[in-house]
């Protein structure tokens, strides 16, 4: 089969669409998917650069989410059949013509969503639902601050926050991106270049009940300063570094909490697993996607043979939401 290979670690030029070994038959509880499209994530860019190795046992091929059609089911798979249109959360291997996925990480392509756009959903849906709802318990009337509101994760989180009845504040790096965040449901718009989010959120509300953070170290103290009483900070990215000093007194006096989570390295099954998250996503979030309340936000569709031109789009001022690689015609 064909897949994206890495000629060493480095810039987009190390990416190539090349022949690789065919996959084995799916094992117990697994399915093989003929990939229609693969979502691009910041994690793929980090893995390409040599900074984010796949977890033990995962494919070395990039790609944490796909959409496609089931080609073959392995022993013991009851709920899915060859021919079913699905999207899947993966630990790797998505940038390819075919991928093997655990059946427990499949979701049906939601009503009204194209097969290509469905590739933009699993990673954002699982990350956002597990952090905002399963970890932080976000609910109606609360204030949610999302850093990087125009990112793949951020655009999904805005819509989920609004659907749950939260008041949504976002940070982004340009007015154009903030305008798009407003269209998606954010009401407090903060340009991180020239506005201080601590001041804006503290002045407009009495702090944030939940913060979804992608910056890590560089924002830690200011995030804690922004929390409301009993507020929860969920850190999912370390774009501003992995280390920081924190005045715990600020957290203690607010009875706040800090969670730092990772989706890719979660176990497939058991408490806190990917299967547990996908079950919750299908039950609670998928109806919101099917009725159009939460939409996949796809900024660009790029043929996978041009993968080297797709990765830089993540840093383009024009990109809001996700970039998707198209692998074959739906």
Ligand X SMILES: NC(=O)c1ccc[n+]([C@@H]2O[C@H](COP(=O)([O-])OP(=O)(O)OC[C@H]3O[C@@H](n4cnc5c(N)ncnc54)[C@H](OP(=O)(O)O)[C@@H]3O)[C@@H](O)[C@H]2O)c1
Of residues 77 and 170, the one with the C-beta less far from ligand X: 170
Determine the Cα–Cα distance for residues 26 and 6; give it in Å rounded to an integer: 24
Interaction with ligand X in 164-203: which residues (CB under 6 A)?
171-173, 177, 192
- Our finding on whether 96 is near ligand X (CB under 6 A) is no
Of residues 298 and 314, the one with the C-beta less far from ligand X: 314
Of residues 32 and 130, the one with the C-beta less far from ligand X: 130
With contacts defined by CB under 6 A, how many residues of the chain interact with ligand X? 25
- Give the DSSP H or E segment for 87: strand 85-89
- Our finding on whether 123 is near ligand X (CB under 6 A) is yes
Among 70, 90, 164, 236, binds ligand X (CB under 6 A): 236
- Our finding on whether 273 is near ligand X (CB under 6 A) is no
Phi and psi of 115, rounded to 5°?
Answer: -60, -40
Determine the Cα–Cα distance for residues 88 and 75; give it in Å rounded to an integer: 18
Interaction with ligand X in 27-46: which residues (CB under 6 A)?
41-43
Binding-site string for ligand X from residue 296 to residue 325, where x marks contact by CB under 6 A and - marks none: ------------------x-----------
Closest CA to 155 of 132, 133, 185: 185
Phi and psi of 144, rounded to 5°?
Answer: -115, 125
Closest CA to 298 of 318, 312, 280, 281: 318
Neighbours of 71 (CB within 10 A): 16
Judged by the rule CB under 6 A, the positions of this chain that interact with ligand X are: 41-43, 123, 127, 147-148, 150-153, 171-173, 177, 192, 214-215, 236-237, 239, 261-263, 314
């Amino acid at each position: 089969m064909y897949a994206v290979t890495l000629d060493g670690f480095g810039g987009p030029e190390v990416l190539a669409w090349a022949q690789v070994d065919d996959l084995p038959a799916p094992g117990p509880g697994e399915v093989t998917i003929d990939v229609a499209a693969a979502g691009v994530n910041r994690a793929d860019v980090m893995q390409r650069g040599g900074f984010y190795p796949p977890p033990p046992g995962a494919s070395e091929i990039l790609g944490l989410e796909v959409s496609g059609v089931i080609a073959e089911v392995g022993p013991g798979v009851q709920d899915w059949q060859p021919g079913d249109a699905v999207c899947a959360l993966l630990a790797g291997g998505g940038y390819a013509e075919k991928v093997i996925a655990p059946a427990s990480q499949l979701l049906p392509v939601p009503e009204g969503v194209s097969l290509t756009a469905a590739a933009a959903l699993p990673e954002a849906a699982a990350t956002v639902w597990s952090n905002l709802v399963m970890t932080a318990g976000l609910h109606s009337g609360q204030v949610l601050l999302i850093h990087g509101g125009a990112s793949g994760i951020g655009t999904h989180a805005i819509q989920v926050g609004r659907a749950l009845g939260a008041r949504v504040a976002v940070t982004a790096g340009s007015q154009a991106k903030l305008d798009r965040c407003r269209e998606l449901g954010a009401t407090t718009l903060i340009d991180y270049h020239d506005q201080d989010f601590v001041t804006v959120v503290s002045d407009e509300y009495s702090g944030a009940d939940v913060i979804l953070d992608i910056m890590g170290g560089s924002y830690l103290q200011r995030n804690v300063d922004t929390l409301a009483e009993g507020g929860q900070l969920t850190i999912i990215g370390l774009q501003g570094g992995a280390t920081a000093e924190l005045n715990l007194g600020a957290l203690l006096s607010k009875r706040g909490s800090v969670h730092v989570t990772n989706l890719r390295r979660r176990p497939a099954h058991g408490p806190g697993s990917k299967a547990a998250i996908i079950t919750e996503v299908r039950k609670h979030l998928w109806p919101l996607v099917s009725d159009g309340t939460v939409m996949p936000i796809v900024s660009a569709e790029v043929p996978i043979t041009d993968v080297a031109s797709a990765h830089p789009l993540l840093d383009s001022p024009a990109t809001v939401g996700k970039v998707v690689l198209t692998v074959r015609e739906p």
